[in-house]
Amino acid sequence: MQITPLNPEDPPSLGDFELLGRIGQGGMGQVYLGESLGGEPAAVKVIKPSVVDSASRRRFAQEIEVLKTIWGPRIAAFLGADAEAEQPWLATEYVDGPDLARHVKRHGPLPSVLTAALGAVLAEALSAVHTQGLLHRDLKPANVLLGPNGPKIIDFGLAAFTESTVSLTAPHQVVGTPICMAPEQAAGVKPLTAAVDVYALGALLLFAATGHYPHEAATPYMVFHLVTDPDTAPDLSGAPEELVPLLTGMLAHDAEDRPSLTEVVQRCRSVIEAQGMRIAQARRRLTAYTAGQRHQAAPADDSPAFPWPASAGDAPGAETVPATKTVPYTETAPEAKTAPAAQESPATPGSGPGPGSPAPSPTVAETAPGPTGPAVQDSPGPTPPARPDSSDGSRREQPAPGRPPAASRRPKEGTPTLRHSVQARRTAERLRAAYAAGAPF
């Protein structure tokens, strides 16, 4: 996740959301990390002043209406918006994780069983969207975030009501991402059906399993030509054998030849069960797998794979910060690991040394300074050693001699909300510190 401090020209707040840093930007606007009055983190999207006009406001207003209409556990929740503001903005749930495109680029393709789990999850999410009378129309790896609670779909900027007769584009204008676009959508056929999202999901799953798309070329225009040519079959090279029948059907050139989303879920289930796993277990493994890999060192190269405008999360010039820089909460500061053994206190009263801690050595503590702490001054009797600083920078109070230490407690950092996680609060605190110092986060 790329997060950089605000620039001088950035607004300090939008609506009831304080802006903390930049997450990324696209061709139409900037995405910020924000925080509500109650401390809830949010992704706040703002249209660039240079592109604010009546057409962009109408499209932005439609995206807001779409997000107000739909809800689901795999959809980034709507938090607030103002399409009539001088700078139109939209706030949605902040998902703490990379998008699928970035994850595959850094760590390689997903195993076939996890690709099938991803397919089942996203097919169910899209089915819920379609049930509410909507099409996404721009599903792609960059619009699927791999959060700590599983994948979530974002960016409904091109979503459309299936029965709507209103068009926000010119008669022959095609909008969307060609690498995941269905042939009929690329050809400008209207009205579109749910089959366009089935094709896009197939292209996304092919990328997840292989690292490449059905049709690739040097320019978007050449990709458009390959997509719309019925004689050019999608490139399934490298796809796991057990996924080929599913991908072949989802990427069929004719919309009527593609399976329904219900069939996609069933076929994904069959792939998972054929490998001796249940679908719920595969979903949990998918989340654990992507969360574990994001804590590995990531390469510095984050250049986009294609030269069209970047999507949210692809901020040009922003420093890439691997998730490994986020230090998990611990009751003992990192420097305590190098302090004298006597400075380690029992985890619970009367339980002896905590797991993995060496036996106490009063002699060392009374005569030698710790490697990172202050020297212990000589005294006639033993002096209780100073505990190391806690993770929030405050020094912990020591119990009187002969008195057991109090039970460990986490520092209070505000009232939590449904999505107000410790990770999100810690991210906000580090951002404020980085912004105050003028340093990249």
> What are the binding residues?
45
CA dist 255 and 243 (Å) reads 20
- Positive or negative, the CA dihedral 132, 64, 163, 224 is negative
Residues making up the binding site for ATP: 45
- Residue of 31, 20, 9 whose CA lies nearest to 311: 31
CA dist 375 and 367 (Å) reads 9
| Dihedral (Cα; 128, 129, 135, 136), 10-degree rounding | -110
Q: Which of 99, 138, 197, 302 is catalytic?
A: 138
61: part of which helix (H) or strand (E)?
Answer: helix 54-69
74-109 core/surface letters (b: 16 or more CB in 10 A; e: else): bbbbbbbbbbeeeebbbbbbbbbbbbbbbbbbbbeb
- Write the DSSP symbol of residue 143: G
3-state secondary structure 384-420: CCCCCECCCCCECCCCCCCCCCCCCCCCCCCCCCCCC
- Positive or negative, the CA dihedral 279, 282, 284, 287 is negative
CA dist 91 and 35 (Å) reads 10
Active site includes 16?
Answer: no
- 388, 333 Cβ separation under 8 angstroms: yes
Catalytic residues: 138
